[in-house]
């Protein structure tokens, strides 16, 4: 179906109901996200090319995302797509793992300040490495510890980023 802008809320809802190509749904999602990022970057101050403000990069990223999403939406509205529904795209994809990882990242965000970078990152990596369950527990603990220590060395020691210490704290050097 070619893209013809619908009129009124009823026309918009009817158009969304008739969409057959899943790329149209993803195009709408990314347009909304890109628009939100673009608009919210103005609250930080965009500046100009010669004197960019703190929101300059997010403005450019949001604008590019919005533009590419519009191209995806418009180009996919001319094709019929594969005829798959959104539900069929998730069949056999182990969606539970995706939501598990999303939950872990949200928990990591909330546990970082009280537990600190060291402990929360170590625990997150242990749980993430166990998602596929292909590694032994000994290897998971070793890889998690190595990645956590490497992150502390790179960000805290070399780059001087202030990481949350938590109740344990740490002192490498």
**pLDDT, tens digit, 9 for 90 and up, residues 117-141:** 999 999 999 999 988 778 888 999 9
Which stretches of the chain drop beneath a pLDDT of 50? 1, 173
Q: What is the pLDDT of residue 170?
A: 64
Into how many domains does the chain fold?
A: 2
Q: What is the pLDDT of residue 58?
A: 93
- Cα–Cα distance measured from residue 136 to residue 142, given in angstroms and rounded to the nearest whole number: 10
Q: 70 and 135, same structural domain?
A: no
- Cα–Cα distance measured from residue 94 to residue 102, given in angstroms and rounded to the nearest whole number: 13
Q: 135 and 70, same structural domain?
A: no
Angstrom distances, CA of residue 103 to CA of 52, 110, 112, 114, 146: 35, 11, 14, 18, 23
Q: What is the pLDDT of residue 148?
A: 95
Q: What is the pLDDT of residue 173?
A: 43
Q: What is the pLDDT of residue 24?
A: 82
What is the domain range of residue 139? 95-158
Q: What is the pLDDT of residue 147?
A: 96
Residues 6+ apart with CB under 8 A from 15: 6
Q: 79 and 31, same structural domain?
A: yes
Q: What is the pLDDT of residue 61?
A: 95
Q: 84 and 17, same structural domain?
A: yes
Q: Is residue 1 part of a domain?
A: no
């Amino acid at each position: 179906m070619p893209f013809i802008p619908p009129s009124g809320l009823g026309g918009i809802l009817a158009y969304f109901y008739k969409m057959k190509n899943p790329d149209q749904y993803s195009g709408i999602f990314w347009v909304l996200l890109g628009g939100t990022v673009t608009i919210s970057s103005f609250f930080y101050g965009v500046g100009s090319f010669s004197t960019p403000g703190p929101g300059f990069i997010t403005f450019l990223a949001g604008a590019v995302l919005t533009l590419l999403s519009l191209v995806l939406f418009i180009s996919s509205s001319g094709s019929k797509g594969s005829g798959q529904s959104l539900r069929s795209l998730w069949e056999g994809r182990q969606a539970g793992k995706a939501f598990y990882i999303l939950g872990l990242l949200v928990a990591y965000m909330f546990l970082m300040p009280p537990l600190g970078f060291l402990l929360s990152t170590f625990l997150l990596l242990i749980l993430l490495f166990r998602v596929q369950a292909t590694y032994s527990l000994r290897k998971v603990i070793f890889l998690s510890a190595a990645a956590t220590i490497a992150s502390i060395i790179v960000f805290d020691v070399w780059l001087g980023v202030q990481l949350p210490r938590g109740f344990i704290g740490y002192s490498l050097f």
